[in-house]
Structure 1
Amino acid sequence: MWPVFWTVVRTYAPYVTFPVAFVVGADPQPVEEEKSISERREDRKLDELLGKDHTQVVSLKDKLEFAPKAVLNRNRPEKN
């Protein structure tokens, strides 16, 4: 009996599974798409930019004080 049952199921499987898959796949409620990582990053960066005052910037003179020594001078011994 079981071999006959499995033969019938195997033979008519496409006729049974297609309507089931069609009903499951045809979801009437639109699914809201999740934002990608890059879109969320861009939104976060825009929010950060909106909160800043762009007229207050560090002057170039202040930036030069913290500049590291030249690369070529790093290995030379300091003269006393």
Structure 2
Amino acid sequence: MWPLIMHFLRTNAPYFTLPVAAVVGVIGYNLEGWLSDRYTPYTKPVQDQRLERLTDDLTLSDPTNVQKLKYKENVLGKNVSPSLQSN
């Protein structure tokens, strides 16, 4: 009897898989809705944040005070292994 049932399920697997997946999906969706917090805090748009940073920047107030675009630290010493660091 079991071989006949397994043969029937094997040949008709696509017809059983979709409804089972739909039921599992509906149950999971509803559980997530009941258990999770859907509140997302408001944040300003990225363009507005950038505009505020640019207007708050003190270096833009004086166009004659321009720093050179030069890296001031040793590039090779940035990620040094602890065994290679000199104390």
TM-score (norm 2): 0.36
Which is higher, the Rg of structure 1 or of structure 2?
1
TM norm structure 1? 0.38
